[in-house]
Homo-oligomer: A and B are copies of this chain.
Amino acid sequence: MEKSEIRQIFDNAPKDSINFGLGELQFDTPKTLLKHASDIISNETIRYTPNAGMLELRRSVANYYAIPFKNNVCITVGAQEAIFASLFSFIESGDEVLIPDPSFIAYNSIVRMLDGIPVSFDLDPRKNFKLDKNSLAKKLTPKTKMLILNDPSNPLGTNLDKEDRAEIIEFCTKNKIILIVDEIYRELYLKRRSRSYIKEKCNVIVISGLSKSHCLSGWRIGWLTSQNEDLIKPIITAHQYICTCAPYLSQKVALKALSKDEFTDISDIRKKIVHNFKIVKGFMQDLNLKFHRPSSAPYLFLKTEIDDRGLAKKLLDNGLITMPGSIFGKNGKKWLRINYGVDEKTLKKGLNILSDTIKSLTR
């Protein structure tokens, strides 16, 4: 397994580059959560927790989705461990896993590491990244075991539309395919929060966490859940052997973050995002650049006229880190992913590098 291409881009960046390439917001973590963490350190004994996570936190996650709490929640070391443990628990050698193109690149890598076969289906870039039903139908084989997607999408910054979502759910139900939906960006909506997949009538596992919504990436806290507890049981067992349990302190912080009061904190984060998006949008329109209109932060998927890897390389040389769309699949070719979840000054600096670079290319 090669070191991921994303990592290579960061490693090759000039010092002091502006970073539009990260997978997290560069905003401050809500202060109340940090204060809470310090209080816990002063007042509690930090030990192992139950493998699946603290009972109150698991209840709180079920409550967040408004689903009954059974043994149907597992607290994980970030959404990343939730993805790994879910795929690890169900994939046997030769099993096929359907993955949209474009998509978060780790899905492919993990499936291959598990001796599964990643099979991509198309979100059509010529049709606003709409699901290509035929592409999906054609990829079904007797070995198709799971379908994994993120919604909102990384790198697209959009949710599947109503029709596409219904299509995916019907497809999974009809063909007895386990659906994993990574909803890590769901709280970072620009206008309206999308409905979780948790209540869809198919075998669905929903994954999320607080790395993005609450700027808690370094705390490594996420979860997975389903209304069908039989789907979660084997994952809890795997999780126990993978890492025993998620960090105690991060679990306590998550419990606080999921309490009603703390959601005011993320509304502040969202205000910044909406503000930043306006800046980016105005800028793109001024430059006459096309982009895929996002419903969720922090990614903007920008259409490029020249080869996206070439453009990303030029931008990197000029001190701006971005992600070429091709990294996320062939349908990302001639697109560029930029993360505008950075402070306003940095945002403007980066956009200027983007502008100068593009102007120098079209001169």
Interface of A with B (CB < 8 Å)? 1, 3-4, 7, 24, 28-29, 34, 37-38, 41-42, 45-49, 51, 77-78, 80-81, 84, 93, 106, 109-110, 113, 115, 216-220, 234, 237-238, 240-250
Contact = CB atoms under 8 A, between A and B. Distances in A.
Contacts of A81: 77, 242-243
30 contacts: A1-B234, A1-B238, A3-B237, A4-B240, A7-B51, A24-B47, A28-B45, A29-B46, A34-B42, A37-B41, A37-B249, A38-B41, A46-B216, A46-B218, A46-B219, A47-B218, A48-B217, A49-B218, A77-B81, A77-B243, A78-B244, A93-B93, A93-B115, A113-B238, A218-B248, A219-B249, A220-B246, A242-B242, A247-B247, A249-B249
A277 to B, nearest CB: 22
Given A4-B240, A77-B77, A245 B220 contact: yes
The CB with the most chain B CB atoms within 10 A, among A37, A49, A242, is that of: A242
Given A218-B49, A247-B218, A241 B38 contact: no
A238 B242 CA distance: 12
A76 to B, nearest CB: 8
Copies of this subunit: 2
A237 B4 CA distance: 9
B48 A241 contact: no
The CB with the most chain B CB atoms within 10 A, among A42, A93, A113, A243, is that of: A243
A249 B218 contact: yes
Nearest to A245: B220
A80 B218 contact: no
Contacts of A42: 34, 38
A164 B237 CA distance: 34
A35 to B, nearest CB: 9
Contacts of A109: 241
A251 to B, nearest CB: 9
Q: Which 9 A-B pairs have the closest CB atoms?
A: A218-B248, A46-B218, A77-B243, A81-B243, A80-B244, A47-B218, A220-B247, A1-B237, A38-B38
Nearest to A244: B80
A219 to B, nearest CB: 6
A243 B240 contact: no
